[in-house]
Amino acid sequence: MTITRQDPDATRALQGLEDDRSSVRLRAALAVGTTPDPRFVDKLIERCAIEPEFFVRDMLTWALTRHPVSMTLPLLLREVRSGQSQARSQALHTLSKIGDRQAWPAITRALLSDADDEVARSAWRAAVVLVPEGEKSALAAVLATQLGRGGRETQLSLSRALVALGAVIGQALRAATAAADPHMRAHALATRRLLRDPDAGFESAIEEAKRVVALGGSGQEEGR
């Protein structure tokens, strides 16, 4: 990216993205998104990988969505293969906001089961946005292998991703309710309840599922 001395607004925005103050970085990202400039795409993506503040990262993503997909997509696809967890996570988040299904092949099983919870959660959200209709069942089967993983926030993210796929998740959930791992069984039961009753709260669904599993049930009879 080349910024000339005759372009003070662009110079100011570039400096703002690197400022020590998060409020200045936020305003700079807003300015870049308000007046998109192809020269800033590299810097926006670079900043996504290291920006510590959530609200600034979200503004950086918004700014990227304001630029042509032909410019942002190749760079984001490169980032999902980065060795930096935040770079992968934020690139996946941005791809989910752009929603261009050309990115679907980049959503690999490795990303969907990434050891970093934030990367995996971003991959789950991106996957349900980008998946072609004919591949939803296969995606559900992969997502179901992650049932029981992590804390409540991670489990809720996975349940939401599965429920967003709709009825195609039924078979994968039935298999998971028979798993040896009680955490996987409980999470599968809670997700099935949310699929049937979207208004049910996750906390109550998971607590009820835990009781069923503790009593030796799998919920298989209910699911038939």
pLDDT digits (tens, 9 = 90+) for 139-177: 999 999 999 999 999 999 999 999 999 999 999 999 999
Q: What integer pLDDT is reported at residue 224 of this predicted model?
A: 41
Per 3-state DSSP, the chain is made up of helix, strand and coil in percentages (nearest 5) of 75, 0, 25
User: Which two three-digit tokens encode residue 95?
Assistant: 């791809």
Q: What pLDDT band is residue 11 in, cutting at 50, 70 and 90?
A: confident
Element at 183 (helix H, strand E):
helix 182-196
2-6, 32-36, 52-56, 59-63: which has the minimum mean pLDDT?
2-6
Distance CA 219, CA 224 (A): 9
Q: What integer pLDDT is reported at residue 4 of this predicted model?
A: 46
User: Has residue 218 got a pLDDT over 60?
Assistant: no
How many CA atoms lie within 13 Å of 100's alpha carbon, on the beta-carbon side?
A: 17
Q: What integer pLDDT is reported at residue 199 of this predicted model?
A: 67
At position 72, the amino acid (one-letter code) is T
CA 205 to chain centre: 23
Exposed (0-12), middle (13-18) or buried (19+): which is 5, by Cβ within 10 Å? exposed
Q: What pLDDT band is residue 216 in, cutting at 50, 70 and 90?
A: low
User: Has residue 1 got a pLDDT over 70?
Assistant: no
At position 44, the amino acid (one-letter code) is L
Structure-model confidence comparison of residues 169 and 3, the more confident one = 169
Q: State the chain's mean pLDDT as an integer.
A: 90
